Amino acid sequence: MRVGVIGLGYVGLPLAVEFAKAGLDVTGFDVDRSKVDSVNNGTTYIPDVEPAELESCVKAGRLRGTTDMSKLGEMDAIDICVPTPLRKTKDPDLSYIVMAVDAVAEVPHRGKLVILESTTYPGTTDEVVQPKLEAGGLQAEVDFFLAFSPERVDPGNPQFKTSNIPKVVGGIGPKSTELAAALYGHIVKEVVPVSSTRVAEMVKLLENTFRAVNIGLANEIALMSHNMDIDVWEVIDAAKTKPFGFMPFYPGPGLGGHCIPVDPFYLSWKARQNGFECRFIELAGHVNASMPGYVVERIADALNTVKKSLNGSRVHLFGVAYKKNVGDMRESPALDVLELLLKRGAVVTYTDPWVPKLQQGSHTFESITEDAALNAKPDCAVICTDHSAFDYNRIVKDAALIVDSRNALKARKEPSIFRL
* Domain ranges (residues) in the chain: 2-195, 204-287, 290-419
Of 116, 150, 162, the residue nearest 15 (C-alpha): 162
pLDDT at 259 over 80: no
Of 258, 383, 391, the residue nearest 324 (C-alpha): 383
Question: What does the pLDDT read at residue 389?
Answer: 96
Q: Give the class (CATH, top level) of 290-419.
A: alpha beta
- Tell me the average pLDDT of the chain: 94
Q: Dmax of the chain from CA atoms?
A: 74
Q: How far apart are CA 394 and CA 85, in angstroms?
A: 39
Question: What does the pLDDT read at residue 408?
Answer: 96
Q: 80: pLDDT confidence band, cut at 50, 70 and 90? A: very high
Residue 77 in contact with residue 112, Cβ under 8 Å? yes
The angle at the Cα of 342, spanning 339 to 348, to the nearest 5 degrees, equals 100
Q: How far apart are CA 104 and CA 398, in angstroms?
A: 57
Residue 25 in contact with residue 62, Cβ under 8 Å? yes
pLDDT at 261 over 90: no
Q: How far apart are CA 92 and CA 262, in angstroms?
A: 9
Question: What does the pLDDT read at residue 153?
Answer: 83
Q: What's the whole-number mean pLDDT along residues 245-269?
A: 87
Q: Give the class (CATH, top level) of 2-195.
A: alpha beta
Catalytic option among 57, 259, 278, 384:
259
As beta bridge partners, residue 250 has: none
pLDDT at 162 over 80: yes
Q: How far apart are CA 280 and CA 316, in angstroms?
A: 35
Q: In CATH, what is the architecture of 204-287?
A: Orthogonal Bundle (1.10)
pLDDT at 277 over 90: no
For residue 160, count CB atoms less than 10 angstroms from its CB and return exposed for 0-12, middle for 13-18, buried for 19 or more.
exposed
Question: What does the pLDDT read at residue 8?
Answer: 97
Question: What does the pLDDT read at residue 154?
Answer: 82
Backbone angles phi, psi at 168, to 5 degrees: -80, 135
Residue 195 in contact with residue 33, Cβ under 8 Å? no
Q: What's the whole-number mean pLDDT along residues 50-56?
A: 95
Indicate the SS3 state at residue 207. Answer: helix
290 CB-near residues (< 8 Å, 6+ apart) = 219
Of 212, 218, 334, the residue nearest 285 (C-alpha): 212
Q: Does 290-419 match 204-287 at the fold level?
A: no
- Which residue type, as a one-letter code, is found at position 94? L
Catalytic status, residue 259: yes
pTM over 0.85: yes
Residue 281 zone, left/alpha/beta (φ > 0; ψ -120 to 50; rest): alpha
pLDDT at 309 over 90: yes
Residue 402 in contact with residue 381, Cβ under 8 Å? yes
Q: What's the whole-number mean pLDDT along residues 350-377?
A: 94
